[in-house]
Copies of this chain bind each other. A is one copy, B any other.
Amino acid sequence: MGATKTEHFTDKQNAMAGIAKALGHPARIAIIDYLLKVDTCICGDIVNELPLAQPTISQHLKELKNAGLIKGTIEGTAVCYCIDEKTLEKFQNYFKNIANKLEKKKNNCC
């Protein structure tokens, strides 16, 4: 087939997978990195930073936005993008929880 069977998994699982998927491309990680590096919130000069064409960057930005990882506000001709902390926090909490559970077990396996 080829399509992910999302309906068989919990909302939480689909949500976490969705965020992870959005982060699952080096260009999108690079965009996040860049947004962190620059002090002022960034517009479209990500195109100059990354070795990808403008439509490709725009597409990656869209995916990050759909996943809730960044948000953008129109500012004149340009669009100002920045990291959306809420989603990142949700994602981070998921892993914090995993780490906590693992700590309790203390490697009683493999």
Contacts and interface: CB of A to CB of B under 8 A. Distances in A.
Interface string A83-98: 1010011011001101
Number of chain A interface residues as a range:
35 or more
A23 B10 CA distance: 15
A46 interface: no
B26 A13 contact: yes
A28 interface: yes
**Identical chains bound together, number:** 2
A110 B95 contact: no
Nearest to A24: B21
Given A21-B24, A36-B102, A88-B99, 14 more contacts: A4-B25, A6-B26, A8-B50, A8-B52, A9-B29, A20-B20, A36-B98, A39-B105, A82-B109, A83-B102, A85-B99, A89-B99, A92-B92, A92-B96
